[in-house]
Amino acid sequence: MTTFTPEIQSTLAAQGVELPSWAFGNSGTRFRVWTTEGTPRDPFEKIADAAEVNRLTALAPSVALHIPWDKVDDFGALRRHAEDLGVTLGTVNSNTFQDEDYKFGALTHEDDRIRRKAIDHHLECIDVMDATGSRDLKIWLAEGSNYPGQTDMRARQDRLNDSLGQIYARLTGDQRLVLEYKFFEPSFYHTDVPDWGTSYAQVATLGDRAMVCLDTGHHAPGTNIEFIVMQLLRLGRLGSFDFNSRFYADDDLIVGAADPFQLFRILVEVIRGGGLNNPDVAFMLDQCHNVEAKIPGQIRSVLNVQEMTARALLLDHEALATAQSANDVLGAQAVFMDAFYTDVRPALAQWRESRGLPADPIAAYAASGYQERIESERVGGVQAGWGA
């Protein structure tokens, strides 16, 4: 069986992956939102479910919020609730994609009134961050056009930059703005922030606390995502990951399910670039569990990240560097694949037990009675937010 050096063990012990509150709500596609028994009825119950994932894995110390989906009267109370359960409130995600006013844009809108409304929404999100103690404001913009000639793409970049500048100016202390990109959807011809280059060009003008968010599901098929990871780390602008898997478009499936090798390659570059357990780079999930059980789905997800991290940590860098500098193509590839093909699961199970955690967190969840309890206590759970 593989063994982990003390150094690898302490690296693994320090790892944390933020959970999205919306992974615990009901979700589906634009065709149907499926219901699940035991679904949280409010943000407090979403936090409780996230805390359960952390209790069984020690891998999920914080929970991301989405506003207005997670709007509560008293964010201080939500914060205390989270802390009582051993987790913190993390990234605050804005939402300008479900309001009629934003049909033709939000932060890029031609109409000053609508653009002002969208900027003000972000300022309110920063008020939430002040109350929750969150560091990051994450912005994903569903803005663009469907037809060539429909809009002036260049003027929209200028308005976007002005809007982001106003939002950035409201940040205080160590708060950060993180701009997420996505190549298409809901717009199909052009998107205002379609790629890492545009996100980088926008945030670079704002200041040091403006960063890029890389959602692994937001690229065209075949994109070399680990190259983007390398480049953003090199430029000091990789602020966060939204981890998930895709087969086709923005599928939001369990991270590491569709392409475990891609997740491995990404983590190799994260480690290479000093991004692992580095507070500058937030690891988050952005997933929706449409048909699978939600809490075990989140447990599976954080374990997938942990397993691929362990494999990436096993990469023999010395042997790789030797092969690379000799242009030993097959030798380098063999070293790389050796690490990828190492089954770390038995070693991780043993290591978890040595830390007082269940060897098999999914089995431990099934045996815990938590699911039965929430199914009997919670009636009328809410959607994740889609179509809400």
Amino acid at 341: Y
**Residues pairing with 379 in the sheet:** none
Q: Which of 142, 176, 382, 171 is nearest to 279 (CA)?
A: 176
Q: What's phi and psi for 104, nearest 5 deg?
A: -110, 20
Assess 99 for contact with ligand LRH (CB under 6 A): no
> Binding residue for ligand LRH (CB under 6 A) from 18, 52, 180, 195?
180
The contact pattern for ligand LRH, residues 74-93, with x = CB under 6 A and - = no contact, is -------------------x
Convert 220-238 to b/e letters by CB count within 10 Å (16 or more is b): eeeeebbebbbbbbeeebb
Cα–Cα distance, 3 to 328 (Å, whole number): 28
**Which of 78, 142 has the CB closer to ligand LRH?**
142
Assess 136 for contact with Mn ion (CB under 5 A): no
Name the minimum Å distance from CB 242 to ligand LRH.
5
Cα–Cα distance, 47 to 255 (Å, whole number): 21
Name the minimum Å distance from CB 380 to Mn ion.
27
Assess 145 for contact with ligand LRH (CB under 6 A): no
Note the helical H segments in the chain. 6-13, 43-57, 75-84, 112-132, 153-169, 196-204, 225-235, 260-272, 294-313, 317-325, 329-340, 345-354, 361-368, 370-377
**Which of 42, 250 has the CB closer to Mn ion?**
250
Cα–Cα distance, 353 to 363 (Å, whole number): 13
Q: Which of 248, 249, 229 is nearest to 240 (CA)?
A: 229
Footprint on residues 353-382 left by Mn ion (CB under 5 A): none
Let me know: does 203 contact 210? Beta carbons within 8 Å. yes
**Which of 361, 385 has the CB closer to ligand LRH?**
385
> Binding residue for ligand LRH (CB under 6 A) from 42, 83, 124, 250?
250
Footprint on residues 225-244 left by Mn ion (CB under 5 A): 242
Assess 351 for contact with ligand LRH (CB under 6 A): no
From the list Mn ion, ligand LRH, none, partner contacted by residue 70 (C-beta under 5 to 8 A by kind): none
Assess 242 for contact with ligand LRH (CB under 6 A): yes
**Which of 76, 186 has the CB closer to ligand LRH?**
186
Provide the binding-site residues for ligand LRH, judged by CB under 6 A.
93, 140, 180, 182, 215, 242, 250, 286
Q: What does the binding site for Mn ion look like in residue numbers (CB under 5 A)?
A: 215, 242, 250, 286
